[in-house]
Chain A
Amino acid sequence: MPRPLRVIAATFALLLVTACNSASSGGTAPSSVRGVTADSIRVGGIVSMTTASGYSKKDTDLGARARYDRANAEGGINGRRIEYLGAEDDGQDPARNLAAARRLVQQDKVFAVSPMSSVTFAGAGFLDAQKVPTVGWGTLPSFCGPAHLYGFNGCLVPTPGGTLNQTWPEGLAAVLGGARGKSVALIAGDNDAGKFGIRTFTQGFKAAGFQVAYAKAAVPATSMPSDWSAYTKEILRSGPGGRAPDAVVSVMQTPYNIGLFTALKRSGYKGVISDPTDYDPGLLAKDATKQALDGVHVLLQFQPFESDSPAMRQFKADIRKAAGGKDVPLNMHAMTGYMSADLFLSIAAKAGKDLTVESFQKAAAGFSDTGTLVGDRAEPKGQKESFGCGALVRLKNGRYEVAVPFRCYPPIPFG
């Protein structure tokens, strides 16, 4: 190694060793609370809006804005306005997700991140380590456990030893007039997530008294089949005595469901069809989706837009206002944003005038309320399990109807 290089390397190494001291001493609490001033609380969001798959959750941002706007119109939280910076687009890219989290915390100095809704949450570790209260859609394991991360309707990923949310089996049992003697077919994509889904729902449906006639993670998960006959044939022969099962439950995304349900109906299937993703009034705009989803029972884990509770009326009014007075189609992403903001605001309000991360966490630790759009909320229970509330809606003649009203079900142990 040439001499100057050696000197530089040594200097840097020295710097590295001494730097650690500053690193470890840098952990002391700052004098002022990040993102909180006498009259404002700064909040950011992370949402996947532009993606190569054409799937976007951008209405999450609208929902959050609607909720924060109302909070500000009502005078803020303990006298502090919410300064919502809008959501950063992570494009479903883990690197961008982390960068967005870093930017919000280090550059924009937000107190909290709410909403966070994406298929990836690479920023979770960073946000938790930096003690940033974060609320989002708890479909990812990161929302289950870390102290500062909260799912707006709880943690939706069951963990062994934890509990399993029974909304779906119980709801379908209500549709079928009881689970006894009824058979159900479960189908999912051929990947680890699909396998996991099959495993959890098999347990859930069995516990509810169903006979699980077919449970396979068999559909190619990245390239959608153009032909579903291979799957429908097997499903339709899977019930007792080679008959069709009473219900077919799909744990897949919308495009897959459209193909599967169309094929099922063409083969003359008359039983109950159900899935957890297709509650999107936007889908009714297309004739093909309207036809494919007609009669399908869709699971949702919040109050259906069709219900007429005061909270729902308020939600619709808030969204309308935030959208500039226009009637925009409602969807679950708007609900995600709205209720993520709502959970943050509710806990922050409980934390009192002296808002710090510590006071927020303390308020969260004993937080509970009832009768919200996502049912009865409680922390820290929500960091381990789902709030366990849901409804089934059914698409009929181009409109969603409430098939099983929104309510909360007791969970069962998962293992």
Chain B
Amino acid sequence: MGDLLGFVLSGLVSGALYALLATGLVLSSSASGLFNFAHGATAYLCALAFYELHSGFGWPAVPTALLLVCVVAPGLGWGLDRLMFRKLAGVGETAQIVATIGLLVALPAAGLWVVELLERAGAPVQPAENQFGLPGVGPSPAVSWQPLDGVGIDSDQLITWIATALAAAGLWILMRHTRLGLRLRAAVDNRALTELRGISADRLSSTAWMLSSGLAGLAGVLATPLLGLSAHDYTLFLFVSATAAVLGRFASVPLAFAGGLGLGVLQNLVAGYASFAEDITGFRTAVPFLILFAGLLVLGRRRRRAAGTAAADPPPAEYLAGKGWGRRWGAWLVAGVLLGTAFYTVTTPFWSGILAQGLAIGLVFMSFTVVTGLGAMVSLAQGTFVTGSALVAGLLMSHGWPFVAAAAAGTAAAALLGAVVALPALRLGGRSLALATLALAFLADQVLFQLGWLRNGDTGWEIPRPVAGPVDLGDDRAMGLALVLLSGVLVALLTRLRGSRWGRAMLAVRSAPEAAAASGVSVVRTKLLLFTVSAGLAGFGGVLYASYNTRITATDFTAMTGLVWLAVVVAAGVRRPQFAVVAGLVFAAAPHLLTTYVTESAHLPVILFGLAGLALANDPDGYCAALPSRLAARRAAKRAAVTGAVPSPRVAPGTVPPALAARGPATGTVPAPLVAGEGDRPSARTAGPCVVGAGDTGTGGGPREVPSALELSGVRAGYGGAPVLHGVDLAVRGGEVLVLLGPNGAGKSTLCRVAAGLLRPAGGLVRVRGEDATRDATVARARRGVRLAPEGRGIFAGLSIDDNLALQLTAAEDRDAVYARFPALAARRTVAAGSLSGGEQQLLALAPLLQRPPAVLVADEPSLGLAPRVVDEVFHLLTELRDHGTALLLVEEKAAEVLGIADTVAYLAQGEIAWSGPRSEVDRERLAEAYLGTGVRR
């Protein structure tokens, strides 16, 4: 019993550190929607700073720790958010993951570089290497007590507990009992809706990052005596604590915190009682990753996300689309020929070797083109496939197998491993998938590759260069040339694959799994195949890479290697196999070029590499794609300027248009952007003649004294160069209801987005209460008094009813008034809003507005999916709002009920106002015409 208590208590120490890190992960993930791989690096940086300031400069421990945790670390978080993560929030998940991987290596290097510079400047810094037993905040060496028999604690542990408890209490008060906390929780729940409520999510995200970094800093300072100054250990610690963040589903701070504590205890219990697994080398080492993997599987299943893809990063506009073969491939072909020729003409033996190495690693990198580029799945286990395949090939070659057969067997083994890894991929998506593959990679490192017969100790296996008849690849030049040819063949094959039926199937699965399944494409089989092919390719490249090295040992390519590889490939571009070749060459050559021509410092190249992630924020498709398309765009712009042609598309090349996601699932997701197909194609249709807009009725006959509460004139808008609205005029005055009708795909939701400031129009004007508001962002528009009740329900599903109300009604009496009016809400004020019925949710969304009527309410299909009786009630509330003086713009597909409360009616058809006028002039024929699109426009 004493044992058990002891294990639990001391397990709480690492548990506390896990909890702090996991909480920080949840905060940053909810702020920017990404998994911050660099979180451990932040902790390391603080530990390093603490050590240098305390032990080097002799600053007192507690004030130094407070300074770091409360000022420096939050400052770092703020800076990173402003410089990087805010921009990254808009790009795809792959680029986000990679940018944080870049930071993961860059931050420690930056810290060490600063130490190096300070040392050169004569500052009393201490060397950061080989430091053990570092002092923490408390006494060093730690004082220890033995309160119970067999249960010992020391001062460092005690400090960790107390500091963590204080941090937890502080966080709890902040999140539960302050306005900032409420807003943070709201932003976590639904970022877009927060903005619609006039709360700047960007500022909240900065706050969350500051908190997150502060927590990382706290963990770093507390862990200094335990982990010393090993950036690697901090990162491993972070991966383990990711388990706790997964338990909290990257959204719940208390769950993540509790998960962290539990994880520490569990790990300790396993260490104490796992004697059953003693025969499995590496089992105890692998425990945290086993838990991580299991957690992902269990929780991933419950999550209702079948996507299985990281994020359907939309492809960039291809500037070479439709160009001829020569135009597409000419430059690559010339480059290949030059490279092949260079081996026998200009390159020195050293550079021949480096280039051959680059080409070999390029083969491995091509596997990312398949799994991440084509399949949009982030695999961090590619290093595992390489090691597995090379070990198998080496093992077989030691038994006398010829190179080709061994390589084939290795490739098959890697493909098999890939299939095993793919099994979780089938149900996980996004960062969960990335983490699962990472956990598997660690498991492979720690258990699979510890098998003596497979790894052959530290000796590994010899993999001699292949010799086939007269071709002897023992010479670097021959090896290089062979690899150029092989790369060419593989690029051609992969390009073909992409265009093949199977490649199209994959693209379909990637962008819309349900639709793909409906059209007879097996999602499961496609993904499995994809992973398998990618793993096999990585394995094949791995055998060749190992044969370049002439030996493979089990520690040559670790899980961390796979992480860095992904960053290198994505930085170059992951959509085309030829980019992977470039990435390989750059990866092999850049360090040598840098040390030869730029800097002697070992840290600077690492920092530069890490900062490449910053570039991704601007060019998420990598430098290989960005360079030529930027050039092409510049040329096009120049041409356009010369010919004076139509303005170039608004979206700059390289930037990504808003995600063309499917209309969100019913709960919680708000203004879903339109599906590509829903927005009308502009095709050959020319903009119609000037239509009679609602604005005309306002200015035409009516009294002029009140300016329109909301006025759109000549608004054109669309997504990524696909126009949806073609010059819409609308105006609605306070105390008036304008009902906008129109068929599916007419552009109603787009119009709502423009009105709410979610989408900036490409042309035309938006005025709110007479003032020009065209260039407003969402928050500014909301602050002008324009509210959007988005399609679906405009509530924070994860927050309680009370929280939902408190976000908009600061005064308690306002909330009481709402409860008095809606007793159904009052009875369940602590219940999560998401558990209300659809009607109640809509009431909850409208209730605070009644209390504080906005100037303008734009309601996108307020009756969608509601029972008729509830619809009546909703409409009744809307009339009440009108009577309070609010201008209402109601968008509906079904005309029947809503017409009852309309003052003015407008039809939107194919992005234009086809007819508008007072309700009295609406008749059935007009309605039918508007819907059928017959004859109304002429």
> Taking beta carbons and an 8 Å cutoff, which residues of A are in contact with B?
1-2, 4-5, 8-9, 12-13, 15-17, 19-24, 26, 49-56, 58, 89, 91, 94-96, 98-99, 102-103, 106-107, 120, 122, 124-126, 129, 140-142, 157, 189-196, 216-227, 229-231, 233, 254-255, 258-259, 262, 266-267, 280, 282-283, 286-292
Contacts and interface: CB of A to CB of B under 8 A. Distances in A.
Contacts of A286: 131-135, 140
A16 B133 CA distance: 57
Nearest to A88: B595
A282 B132 CA distance: 10
B604 to A, nearest CB: 11
B202 to A, nearest CB: 33
B132 A20 contact: no
A221 B130 contact: no
Nearest to B160: A226
Interface of A is mostly: helix
Contacts of A96: 591
B475 A23 contact: yes
Contacts of A289: 132-133
Interface stretch (B9-17, B404-412, B778-786, B828-836): B9-17
Given A122-B556, A223-B285, 14 more contacts: A9-B485, A19-B478, A120-B553, A141-B457, A190-B283, A191-B446, A192-B452, A195-B281, A225-B14, A225-B271, A226-B10, A227-B13, A227-B271, A229-B152
B459 interface: yes
Interface in B539-593: 549-551, 553-556, 560, 591-592
A22 B475 contact: yes
B902 to A, nearest CB: 64
Contacts of A193: 457-458
B592 A103 contact: yes
Interface string B348-372: 1110011001000000000000000
B281 A288 contact: no
B7 interface: yes
A217 B459 CA distance: 20
A266 B152 contact: yes
A142 B446 CA distance: 22
A16 B553 contact: no
5 contacts: A12-B481, A120-B555, A192-B554, A229-B10, A288-B140
Contact of A230 (B268, B462, B551): B268
B603 interface: yes
Nearest to A195: B281
A192 B10 contact: no
Which of B225, B278, B284, B325 has the most A CB atoms < 10 Å from its CB? B284
A20 B287 CA distance: 50
A24 B472 contact: yes
A120 to B, nearest CB: 7
A222 B230 contact: no
A216 B152 CA distance: 24
B132 A254 contact: yes
B233 A288 contact: no
Task: Point out which of A13, A15, A54 has the most chain B C-beta atoms below 10 A from its C-beta.
Answer: A54
B549 A23 contact: no
A54 B47 CA distance: 12
Contact of B285 (A16, A24, A140, A190): A190
B555 A196 contact: no
Given A192-B452, A220-B285, A99 B354 contact: yes
Contacts of A224: 226-227, 233
Contact of A223 (B240, B357, B484): B240
A295 to B, nearest CB: 14
Contacts of B152: 229, 266-267
A255 B135 contact: no
A52 B111 CA distance: 12
Interface string B329-350: 0000100110010001000111
Interface in B468-503: 470-472, 474-475, 477-478, 481-482, 484-485, 488, 492
A23 B478 contact: yes
Given A19-B475, A191-B282, A258-B132, A124 B14 contact: no
Contacts, number: 250
A288 B333 contact: no
Contact of A55 (B129, B550, B602): B129
A288 B133 contact: yes
A254 B556 CA distance: 23
Contact of A227 (B150, B268, B284): B268
A192 B455 contact: yes
B232 interface: yes
B60 interface: no
Contacts of B553: 94, 120, 122
Given A22-B475, A91-B602, A190-B284, A106 B350 contact: yes
Contact of B129 (A58, A189, A191, A230): A58
Contacts of B11: 227
Of B105, B108, B133, most buried by chain A (CB within 10 Å of CB) is B133
B803 to A, nearest CB: 37
A230 B272 contact: yes
A122 B236 contact: no
B875 interface: no
Given A23-B475, A221-B446, A289-B132, A227 B10 contact: yes
Given A102-B353, A190-B284, A192-B450, A230 B7 contact: yes
Nearest to A228: B10
A89 B156 CA distance: 35
Nearest to A219: B284
A54 B129 contact: yes
Interface in B314-338: 325, 333, 336-337
B555 A94 contact: yes
Given A5-B333, A196-B457, A54 B131 contact: yes
A230 B271 contact: yes
B6 interface: yes
Contacts of B282: 190-192, 221
**Chain A to chain B: the 3 pairs with minimum beta-carbon distance, closest first:** A23-B475, A289-B133, A227-B10
A302 to B, nearest CB: 18
Nearest to A139: B458
B857 to A, nearest CB: 54
Nearest to A5: B333
B178 interface: no
A222 B333 CA distance: 45
Contacts of B3: 229, 233
Nearest to B239: A223
Given A26-B475, A52-B232, A292 B141 contact: yes
A102 B353 CA distance: 8
B349 A106 contact: yes
Contacts of A223: 233, 236-237, 240, 285, 288
Contacts of B105: 52
Interface in B222-278: 225-233, 235-237, 240, 264, 268, 271-272, 278
Contacts of B459: 141-142
Contacts of A89: 602
B144 interface: yes
A56 B227 CA distance: 16
A140 B477 contact: no
A142 B337 CA distance: 38
B134 A288 contact: yes
Nearest to B325: A2
Contact of B344 (A19, A120, A231, A233): A19
Contacts of A52: 105, 108, 230-232, 235, 560
Contacts of A124: 551
Given A23-B472, A126-B550, A223-B233, A192 B129 contact: no
Contacts of A290: 133, 141
A354 to B, nearest CB: 26
A20 B470 contact: yes
Of the candidates A58, A225, A287, A291, the one having the most CB atoms from chain B within 10 angstroms of its own CB is: A225
Contacts of B204: none
